Structure 1
Amino acid sequence: MVCFDIIFRNPAIDLLENHDVDSIVFPTAWMDTLPLLAAIQFHSAFAAGASVNLLAANIKKSESKFHGSGIYSPKGYLDFYYSEDNVGRLLIAEIPIHDRKQNSYPEPNILTEENNLRTSNDSFQSLVFHDLYNFVPLFDIQGNKTICHNNLCCSLTYEKKTDTYELFAFGAFDGLHHTFEGTYYIQVCILLKCKNSNLTSCGEPEENSITFFKQFQIEGTFNTSYIYPEILLANSSNFLILAAPNTWIYNKGILQSETQLEYPVVSAAMLARVYEKDHILISDKNPTRRIHYDFTTDQGNPMLPERIFIIFYKFLSAVSNYIRCLL
């Protein structure tokens, strides 16, 4: 398994669910894509969500944002390396042996209307890597927020250590994501630091933060069990770092800090993959709308014109992924 294989059902999920794989060696050419897909961020999230050991070896071309390698377990990182220079490092760690069947993808806790989920009246929209998210700002030092998008509702309970001038927001997205590595369906609940004090900057790539959180808890009404939890921090040099394994916990669609995180927060999120919807939804010219297309006949087989389109599109995606991995 290499590069963007980790994004899609095959081969990633096939290896885990049909071949009882509990540890994966993962060579990659992975370019950081904030706020959700920095290398150390998503690779550690995949290990936690999939309950698998992941040994991720990234190329080192920091000037192009290709950096970040690590050894990750279901409970968090065992070791990782992330730097701005082009000097590599050998990582060594003792990985746990575990029965993945006992820790396979758990069904998420589905929130219901009884939870009184209602979007706050101060909601706004902003782009996150070309996708239009719904957000609510976090102006207060502590509080509870709820935000919904399509069929997903996300709730947040939080408390900052101190009030700062930095703007944070809490967002939700439920839809098809179009990007270089392919087109795939995601559901996201995300707490993030905005680039500046403008609401429209929420969702732009950000690596700096001085805001500590005493605690937070994120929940979502995900309709899939393929959920990948991630927490990204900034150290004293404003350099990206992962939260220590003993400071957070993830269980069935709930991500929460157990203690005050040791560094300021850049983002905390749950990124869910709805693999079965990857090919059934095509965007029109309006970025706020999505149109569903059923590419199957009554017998469940793709109709000929759409079948040709799907094959051609997958071919182009595969070629582009291969070229990117060679960079």
Structure 2
Amino acid sequence: MYQMDPGHFITIQKQYGHLLVAELISHPRLSPTYPIVVNWSSYATSIKRFSPDDHDFSGVIYFDQFTFTELTKPEGNRTLCQKDLCCHLSYRMAEKREDEVYVLGAFDGLQVVEGEYYPQICTLLKCKSTDLKTCGYLVATAETSSDTFSLSGTFATSYVFPEVLLTGVQLVPGEFQVLSDGRLINQNGTSKPVLSVTLFGRWYEKDPPHPQQGFPGCGY
């Protein structure tokens, strides 16, 4: 992180071989636009599970064994669970392309590759090809546009970090909103096709007694 002036910092993160740059306010709580307190599990724990589906399967993202379910329709409501984490997705695509596949993914477990730490993750992502075995592979471009989406999860932690990536691996501040009940939403479509919509939870209490390092950010 690099300080640009007394009030702002620049943070640079490497993702998929690209540098993602965002400007951060050094004292965000003093800003009138500072977001409201979020209860990240409020919505997800208050609703009935959406209808289950027979398209669930396993896949790997960065050595972690995710549970995935394919989004076979242009719109719908889906629930996907792994261990204690249930991810809820409501979505509507501008069109359902035959040459692109999207999945909802859930991971609730110990990560042991870059240190030992415990994340909980809900993610909507594009697969590299129509072969479901490629879900979780690195992807940089997409053609499918989203009209609306709402993603939430039954997180056991208050440390949850939202991320939306568009084609070209571009961050899109201002194109999504986090509600106080824990929903990550977009109601007006996105400016470009969607690569992924993710909620990264960091459950510190579940870390081993002597973790080698902390949460490495959005390294998926």
Short-chain TM bin: 0.7 to 0.9
1:169 matched residue in structure 2: 103
- Secondary structure class of the residue paired with 1:276: helix
1:152 deviates by: 0.4
Which residue in the other structure is 1:255 paired with?
A: 184
CA contact under 8 A between 1:117 and 1:155: conserved in structure 2?
A: yes
Distance 1:138 1:70, change over 3 A: same
Distance 1:128 1:54, change over 3 A: farther
The aligned amino acid for 1:142 is E
C-alpha displacement of 1:179: 2.5
Higher relative contact order (CA 8 A, sep 6+): 2
- Alignment-derived partner of residue 132 in structure 1: 65
Equivalent residue letter for 2:9: L
> Could you tell me whether the CA contact under 8 Å between 1:58 and 1:66 is conserved in 2?
no
1:200 partner SS: helix
43, 46, 69: which one aligns with 2:21: 69
Matched residues, number: 208
Give the aligned residue type for 1:277: K
Match of 1:273 among 191, 198, 202: 202
Unaligned 5+ segments in structure 2 are none
Deviations 1:115-168 (A, max 9, x none): 135642220000011001001001211111111000000111111101212011
1:197 aligns with 2:130: yes
Structure 1's unaligned 5+ residue stretches are: 1-25, 28-52, 74-94, 281-309, 322-327
CA contact (8 A) 2:110 2:118 kept: yes
Alignment CA distance shift 1:120-1:113 (3 Å): farther
**C-alpha root-mean-square deviation of aligned residues, in Å?**
3.1
Q: What percentage of residue pairs aligned between the two structures are identical?
A: 28
Rate the CA distance shift 1:175–1:117 in 2: closer, same or farther, 3 A: farther
How does 1:37-52 map onto structure 2 within 5 Å? none
Contact 1:213 1:265 in 2 (8 A): yes
User: Matches of 2:47 and 2:29 in 1, distance apart?
Assistant: 39
- The correspondence for 2:165, drawn from 227, 232, 245, is 232
Give the 3 Å change call, closer, same or farther, for CA 102–153 of structure 1 in structure 2.
closer
Q: State the Cα distance separating 1:70 from its structure 2 match.
A: 1.9
Greater Cα radius of gyration, structure 1 or 2: 1
- The answer to which structure has the higher strand fraction is 2
Q: TM-score, normalised by structure 1?
A: 0.57
CA offset at residue 106 of structure 1?
Answer: 4.1
Q: Are the structure 2 counterparts of residues 163 and 66 from structure 1 closer, same or farther at C-alpha, using a change threshold of 3 Å? A: closer
Contact 1:227 1:253 in 2 (8 A): no
TM-score normalised by L of structure 2: 0.82
- Taking the TM superposition and a 5 Å limit, the aligned residue runs for 1:1-327 are 26-27=1-2, 55-58=9-12, 65=17, 67-72=19-24, 97-98=30-31, 103=36, 106=39, 108-109=41-42, 111-112=44-45, 115-117=48-50, 119-164=52-97, 165-180=99-114, 182-234=115-167, 239-245=168-174, 247-251=175-179, 252-279=181-208, 310=210, 314=212
Rounded to whole Å, the distance in 2 between the matches of 1:221 and 1:248 is 20
Give the structure with the higher percent helix: 1
C-alpha deviation, 1:258, in angstroms: 2.5
Quote the offset at 1:99 in angstroms.
7.2
Q: CA deviation at 1:200?
A: 1.2
